Amino acid sequence: MSQFDVVVIGAGPGGYIAAIRSAQLGFKTACIDAGVNKAGDAPALGGTCLNVGCIPSKALLQSSEHFHAAQHDFAEHGITVGDVKFDAAKMIERKDAIVTKLTGGIKFLFQKNKVESLFGKGSFKGKNGDLYQIEVDNNGEKSVVEAKHVIVATGSVPRPLPQVEIDNVNVLDNEGALNLTAVPAKLGVIGSGVIGLEMGSVWKRVGAEVTILEAAPTFLAAADQQIAKEAFKVFTKEQGLEIELGVKIGDIVKGDNNVTVNYETAKGEAKTEIFDKLIVSIGRVPNTNGLNVEAVGLEKDERGFIKVDGECRTNLPNVWAIGDVVRGPMLAHKASDEGVAVAERIAGQKPHLDFNTIPFVIYTDPEIAWVGKTEEQLKAEGVEYKKGTSGFAANGRALGLGKAKGTVKVLACAKTDRVLGVHMIGPMVSELVAEGVMSMEFSASSEDIARIVHAHPTLSEVLHEASLAVDKRALHG
């Protein structure tokens, strides 16, 4: 029976990073994962993020944006194109190639860092003294390894909708939405979160008529509402996404070639829509099925998350849990940083991870990104604040890109001027938000950002201008 210092269960962005960092710190490390490639004939590391989440969705978003630009934006640049055609299968093929390259990259990193990769489903079997026994089930072929430390990084799975079963033929989850090889004429999406908006945007740009049904009465409730309202206006009035809020989903009936959705609007009106395809994206739940936590007494909370403290320690000595399977935002970068932190804590180091400075991004066009508190949160908490806003409409770089829509907002403490939140909608704000993150990590004031020289012409000047506006010193607005 093989023994390890550290065994990681799950090779998603939390697990594989935890394994690599553990090995770098001198621990004999193994990582257990049951992921397979799209064809189902070979292991594929990287979890949901690399295989059917973050990475493939960004590939499709970029492809669809190119197609849309060729149809609608090139003429403004003096570029005339002929009959622009779209090949959905080719777009999926490109996406798959990117996924294959990156998942293969993790395999290389495991080899480079001497992480032993074990294929199969990992579950707790029991204990042998101070060592935990982990069973690895490779399609019925079972083996057991022992570990002094165990890091659970099993991620999350799509939240099921009681009214209908996902078949990834006509009723799709995130994986099915990423693998359509033809454009549906009429696409329904249940849920207007990150997955719903991104996938709805992809298929809308390439020709689908898209309707998004959201149970919540507020659009993007987690985002700053000034930014959310601007986004809603762009998505609906300018881009043509049909988004209905406050709906109650009723019966859903699968036909041979369509899906019928019955629902009630926020005003109480009964409606029926027939879609060619339906994407169900109503959130995700922790993935602990088959982990056999009962064998060792590992505790979960009432929602199914593994209980951890602020440092990712569970109720069991030397058992840790990270990423989507524990509290906090379900974000790949949060999982990765937790993985690093846990490996370093095992080594006796004192790493720090601040949930208040974890950035959130939605990769629509325009992009939406934020870090820190929203205006609504600050008001609810009774925090006195001041704010500055600036738009991309007069930004030279944004105008040159043909993407001059959007706003940047900076929120700062009214007494100390310390930055409390940065909220953005606009071009490449997924990159711009990093400046806000770093500012908050170093306890910067809005004046600090305002007094830093920003290159001209760049999109970052809008953040600079918003910081100036906090103290009513805006120069271009």
pLDDT of residue 278: 98
Taking a C-beta distance cutoff of 8 angstroms, is the pair 111, 21 a contact?
A: no
Domain 2-158+285-347 matching CATH 3.40.1190.20: the answer reads no
Name the residue among 437, 427, 434, 469 with its Cα closest to residue 450. 469
pLDDT of residue 366: 98
Residue 393's φ and ψ, nearest 5 degrees, are -60, -30
Taking a C-beta distance cutoff of 8 angstroms, is the pair 332, 49 a contact?
A: yes
- For residue 464, what are the contacts with CB-CB under 8 A and spacing of at least 6? 449, 450, 452, 454
Residue 58 is assigned to a ligand binding site: yes
Could you read off the pLDDT tens digit of each residue along the chain, which spans 477 residues?
A: 899 999 999 999 999 999 999 999 999 999 999 999 999 999 999 999 999 999 999 999 999 999 999 999 999 999 999 999 999 999 999 999 999 999 999 999 999 999 999 999 999 999 999 999 999 999 999 999 999 999 999 999 999 999 999 999 999 999 999 999 999 999 999 999 999 999 999 999 999 999 999 999 999 999 999 999 999 999 999 999 999 999 999 999 999 999 999 999 999 999 999 999 999 999 999 999 999 999 999 999 999 999 999 999 999 999 999 999 999 999 999 999 999 999 999 999 999 999 999 999 999 999 999 999 999 999 999 999 999 999 999 999 999 999 999 999 999 999 999 999 999 999 999 999 999 999 999 999 999 999 999 999 999 999 999 999 999 999 997
Q: Can you tell me the distance from the alpha carbon of 320 to that of 454, in angstroms, rounded to the nearest whole number?
A: 42
Residue 230 is assigned to a ligand binding site: no
Q: Can you tell me the distance from the alpha carbon of 333 to that of 269, in angstroms, rounded to the nearest whole number?
A: 41
* Two structure tokens written together for 215: 């149970």
Q: The tokens 């704000």 sit on which residue? A: 429
Long-range contacts, stretch 104-107, CB < 8 angstroms, 24+ apart:
106/11, 106/16, 106/45, 106/46, 106/50, 107/45
Taking a C-beta distance cutoff of 8 angstroms, is the pair 279, 187 a contact?
A: yes
Catalytic residue list contains 68:
no
- For residue 40, what are the contacts with CB-CB under 8 A and spacing of at least 6? none
Residue 19 is assigned to a ligand binding site: no
Residue 424 is assigned to a ligand binding site: no
Residue 471 is assigned to a ligand binding site: no
In the chain, CATH 3.30.390.30 sits at 359-470
Residue 332 is assigned to a ligand binding site: yes
CA dihedral (206, 230, 439, 17) positive or negative: negative
- For residue 333, what are the contacts with CB-CB under 8 A and spacing of at least 6? 13, 358, 359
Residues in the chain: 477
Cross-strand pairs, 409? 389, 423
Q: Are strands 156-158 and 29-33 parallel, antiparallel or unpaired?
A: unpaired
Residue 20's φ and ψ, nearest 5 degrees, are -65, -45
pLDDT of residue 458: 98
- Chain centroid, CA 9 distance in Å: 21
Q: Can you tell me the distance from the alpha carbon of 390 to that of 225, in angstroms, rounded to the nearest whole number?
A: 16
Residue 155 is assigned to a ligand binding site: yes
Q: Distances from the Cα of 138 to the Cαs of 120, 204, 254, 362, in angstroms?
A: 4, 40, 34, 36
CA dihedral 154, 156, 161, 166 (to 10 degrees): -70
Q: Are strands 141-152 and 131-138 parallel, antiparallel or unpaired?
A: antiparallel
Q: Can you tell me the distance from the alpha carbon of 438 to that of 377, in angstroms, rounded to the nearest whole number?
A: 21
Residue 191 is assigned to a ligand binding site: yes
Residue 283 is assigned to a ligand binding site: yes
Taking a C-beta distance cutoff of 8 angstroms, is the pair 112, 69 a contact?
A: no
Task: Please give the full DSSP string across 202-247, using - where no structure is assigned.
Answer: HHHHTT-EEEEE-SSSSTTTTS-HHHHHHHHHIIIIIT--EEE-S-
Structural fold of domain 359-470: Enolase-like; domain 1 (3.30.390)
Report the SS3 class of residue 9: strand
Q: Can you tell me the distance from the alpha carbon of 366 to that of 406, in angstroms, rounded to the nearest whole number?
A: 7
CA dihedral (410, 411, 414, 415) positive or negative: negative
In the chain, CATH 3.50.50.60 sits at 2-158+285-347, 171-282
Residue 446 is assigned to a ligand binding site: no
Annotated catalytic residue, options 66, 68, 77, 456 = 456
Q: Can you tell me the distance from the alpha carbon of 205 to that of 64, in angstroms, rounded to the nearest whole number?
A: 6
pLDDT of residue 477: 78
Residue 154 is assigned to a ligand binding site: yes
Cross-strand pairs, 210? 187
Q: Which helix (H) or strand (E) holds 128?
A: strand 121-128
Indicate the burial class of 44 (C-beta count within 10 angstroms; 0-12, 13-18, 19 or more).
buried
Q: Can you tell me the distance from the alpha carbon of 235 to that of 222, in angstroms, rounded to the nearest whole number?
A: 17
Structural fold of domain 171-282: FAD/NAD(P)-binding domain (3.50.50)
